[in-house]
A and B are shown apart, each in its own frame.
Chain A
Amino acid sequence: MNAIVDSRTLDPKKLIKGATGDWEIVVGMEIHAQVTSKSKLFSGASTEFGGEPNDHVSLVDAAMPGMLPVINEECVKQAIRTGLGLKAQVNLRSTFDRKNYFYPDLPQGYQISQYKSPIVGEGEVVVDLPESGGQITVGIERLHLEQDAGKSLHDQHPTMSFVDLNRSGVALMEIVSKPDIRSSEEARAYVTKLRTILRYLGTCDGDMEKGSLRADVNVSVRRPGEPFGTRCEIKNVNSIRFIGQAIETEARRQIGILEDGGAIDQETRLFDPSRGETRSMRSKEEAHDYRYFPDPDLLPLEFDQAYVDALAQHLPELPDAKKARFIADYGLSPYDAGVLVAEQEQAAYFEAVAKGRDGKAAANWVINELFGRLNKEGKDVTTSPVSPAQLGGIVDLIGEGVISGKIAKDLFEIVWTEGGDPRELVESRGMKQVTDTGAIEAAVDAVIAANPDKVAQAQAKPTMIGWFVGQVMKQSGGKANPQAVNDILKAKLGI
């Protein structure tokens, strides 16, 4: 293992206030990401979520006498892909170790993991901070493959616990960050970004509700400029929001102890979201002695660079590259580009809309109208009732001056609820913008004639023209071209 290095420069904005002065939070994370694969890491049993308890259990998963693990090559490929996606070193030789402990949902009495030499070494993740702005780089220490455990069910019988081994042996990637995170916002943003990368790569579905992504969060605090403090590890936090809460809560607890003259005990803690506190699980003294040693049932995992290169060739465009391309090719703001690339499907939707159109206009419509509406209805782009072609049609109609932006919103609503071709809808429902200057002039004249007092006011204060525009638009049922209305009003009012 490498020595722990402080890679960050102190940012006073990130400090939190204690009773006796400022403190800096230091966070490092171990993310357990379930590998997307059909079968388990060392057996042919299905990894499908759900199913009756113990439906997906092979003789190997149940640790029957004489059973042997056989590595699943697909899981190896997924780990390599992930390593590449984290710009990390992929180790051409790695080994599997046994981590020994007794637990009813651990059938072998040991977990097969990679302790001494992991499949992936150091890498990094660039993280945008949406709330405070700016960007940080979080170092990756390592990524290794390991088996998940089963699940103990304590609520099935009055005096006994049951064990479900469906998850037993499912492949996990443990992704260990360096202690490069300095606030709960950074931590949330890091996990969000990591999740995005994994989902782009297709190596983990990132579904935290199903437990596909879980975090062990290491938290310590220190006075600015001081060396790292003693850390506590908060185990198994299963939502991004809870990660943020757990860090805040734990940091406050540690600051309280330190400010009272106490010392932090290195220990493992649990976060209880319902009570908003972390609780001690076990102290350093109670820590297990896992008696790690190389698993003699498995040969070292070896492949050559060509194998890695072949996988690298088929990697999808990753979020950072896509974001840069969106900024360069479509002229998007970094913020908009960041929002669009957060999910691959969103980015694809945007590109389908933007193709051959104005990128900024497309981004506006996708982000503001479409995402807004999707959010409200609890949908995502994959289940959007408005297709990219339909949304593109709306953007075209605005661009061509056929409809105004306001009418476009009405049109979007119609397409959302009723469907149909936007251009045909505009025709059939008479939503076309009035660009006929004669008709507009008549409306302008009528408004001017009816409001002589306002005319005098407008001539004294030209910004009053807005009121006239409003009146004319009202008369036209919103269909008049606002620019034409403006121009004609200016001429007629002499302002």
Chain B
Amino acid sequence: MTDLTDLTLAEARDALKAKQASSTEITGAFLKAMEAARGLNAYVLETPEQALAMAKASDEKLARGQGGALEGLPLGIKDLYATKGVRTTAGSNILCNFVPAYESTVTSQLWRDGAVMLGKLNNDEFAMGSSNETSAFGPVSSPWRREGSNAALVPGGSSGGSSSAVAARLCLGATATDTGGSIRQPAAFTGTVGIKPTYGRCSRWGIVAFASSLDQAGPIARTVRDNAILLRSMAGHDPKDTTSVDIAVPDYEAAVGRSIKGMKIGIPKEYRVDGMPAEIEALWGKGAEWLKAAGAELVDVSLPHTKYALPAYYIVAPAEASSNLARYDGVRYGLRVPGKDIQEMYEKTRAAGFGKEVRRRIMIGAYVLSAGYYDAYYVKAQKIRTLIKRDFEEVYAQGVHAILTPATPSAAFGIGEKGGADPVEMYLNDVFTVTVNMAGLPGIAVPAGLSSEGLPLGLQLIGRPFDEETLFSVAEVIEQAAGRTRLPDAWW
């Protein structure tokens, strides 16, 4: 074996089972890689001692022929997930010193199944961003560069630490979260695979909330199969989250490689947006052809309310965020900046604790919920949300199994390149992904090729509620047809 970090999660699993490698060896290889890759700023906290202890315990289990589905497999954890005894910041100064006394449901399921924690991954502050530039820990660099350029590129966001770490082979897979595209867009930018499951598929308990009705946990990993393996452990009903749904978790991996013959794949005309680069359009067409070649039937579908999704999203998400982030007040935990009275303490704490983008969204949220504006903004946005949902329901009622769209309107851009003057420029990154969150549907981003500048481009598949299996089957066809992305060699 050349380099253990080159293994996919499935390959590593099989190698461990076959005793070709130990978890301690694999974990050690990743810890070494992480140390060498600190320049990427993907990890905000490395937990080598914990990792090696977990690896050792896994090796003992594996030696006895025991172990769970993820036994001994080292993962990175987005810093939005509360990890017991391990600092959890959500990428924010306001939680700079916060060490939870509890473990999120999703991560506790990963540890239950034997996974090993390498550390906590960078993300946009409170998951608000599409480039991982809003993190209090500074931006994350993508391991990708444009051909012939050394300019640092963003890994997407908000799960930029996750996507960068997976692409740079600093973990076998990573947890991520997706409120408007925060799994799929970074996956698309880094040539990795990421799935946002159906709202309610994974428990939100113990994940720092951004927008409760949109937030959903999911994995980013190198292959479709790796995603399927991880999601099976992450998903499931949790009585502590009443919005999680009590539906049995299928063996997603079994869906990988399943024939898609006879499946109807919808191609929504509304996703052909103005100013979309020709190469994205071409990639989309190529993806459709691959699916057709695999026996699927392509159907033109219409999702007429798509164009309202982004503005409506930027009302609903900040509204919920403004309320969800009210608890960061300096009273009980996290940052506290003293003031002459409670009011001043609040103001100073929150001014120092929250970055610019978070403050902007809190203000937008407070505004759209305020008396006199509530009906014009929040209520209207919720109505649009219902219409978006109905659009999808009507398409699925026509027998469509999944919908194929581009994942992003462009390839990755440079750090500092976008959103400086106009935040909407940044928000437009989510134009293809927010609809899926607004409708609560599952969506997967899968690499489909490279741009003219040699950067990865992804396609998105949108599924029926709780039909992640179909997404894995269809995404696997694309992955096979496109050929596995060759991840960049280490320059860092």
Contacts and interface: CB of A to CB of B under 8 A. Distances in A.
Interface of A: 59, 62-71, 98, 100, 102, 104, 107-110, 161, 163, 289, 291-293, 296-299
Q: Which of B81, B207, B239, B329 has the most CB of A within 10 A?
A: B329
B320 A65 contact: no
Interface residues of B, number: 43
A431 to B, nearest CB: 67
B108 interface: no
Interface stretch (B96-104, B151-159, B444-452): B96-104
A291 B331 contact: no
A299 B242 contact: yes
A64 B331 CA distance: 11
17 contacts: A62-B332, A63-B332, A65-B82, A67-B206, A68-B204, A68-B205, A68-B241, A70-B240, A70-B241, A108-B326, A110-B323, A291-B374, A292-B374, A293-B369, A296-B211, A296-B243, A298-B243
A38 to B, nearest CB: 17
A71 B242 contact: yes
Contacts of A63: 327, 332
A363 B183 CA distance: 75
B366 interface: yes
A107 B327 contact: yes
Contact of A109 (B211, B323, B370): B323
Contacts of B101: 59, 64
Contacts of B206: 66-67
A297 B215 CA distance: 11
Contacts of A108: 326-327
Contact of A104 (B95, B213, B240, B342): B342
B256 interface: no
Nearest to A99: B323
A65 B329 contact: no
Given A100-B326, A108-B327, A68 B240 contact: yes
Interface in B298-316: none
A67 B241 CA distance: 9
Nearest to A105: B331
Interface of B: 81-82, 88, 90, 95, 98, 100-102, 104, 204-209, 211-213, 239-243, 319-320, 322-323, 325-327, 329, 331-333, 342, 346, 366, 369-371, 374, 378
A299 B243 contact: yes
Contacts of B100: 64-66
Q: Which of A65, A66, A297 has the most CB of B within 10 A?
A: A65
A390 B346 CA distance: 65
B427 to A, nearest CB: 20
Contacts of B333: 64
Contacts of A161: 342
A254 B143 CA distance: 73
Contacts of B323: 98, 100, 109-110, 291, 293
Nearest to A109: B326
Nearest to B203: A68
Nearest to B346: A102
B319 A293 contact: yes
B374 A293 contact: yes
A65 B242 contact: no
Given A64-B102, A65-B95, A296 B342 contact: no
B102 A298 contact: no
Given A109-B323, A296-B212, A67 B205 contact: yes
B239 A70 contact: yes
A297 B207 contact: no
The 9 A-B pairs at the shortest CB distance, nearest first, are namely A109-B326, A296-B213, A291-B369, A296-B212, A63-B327, A66-B206, A65-B208, A289-B371, A66-B207
A297 B326 contact: no
Contacts of B240: 68, 70
Given A293-B320, A296-B213, A298-B242, 10 more contacts: A64-B100, A65-B82, A98-B323, A109-B329, A110-B326, A163-B331, A163-B332, A293-B378, A296-B243, A299-B242
Given A70-B240, A291-B370, A296-B320, A65 B209 contact: yes
Contact of B242 (A68, A100, A291): A68
A257 to B, nearest CB: 28
Contacts of A107: 327, 331-332
Contacts of A299: 242-243
Given A68-B240, A68-B242, A104-B342, A59 B329 contact: no
A59 B88 CA distance: 15
Contacts of A67: 205-206
Contacts of B370: 289, 291
A107 B207 CA distance: 18
B243 A297 contact: yes
B254 to A, nearest CB: 31
B327 A66 contact: no
Contacts of B320: 293, 296
Nearest to B89: A65
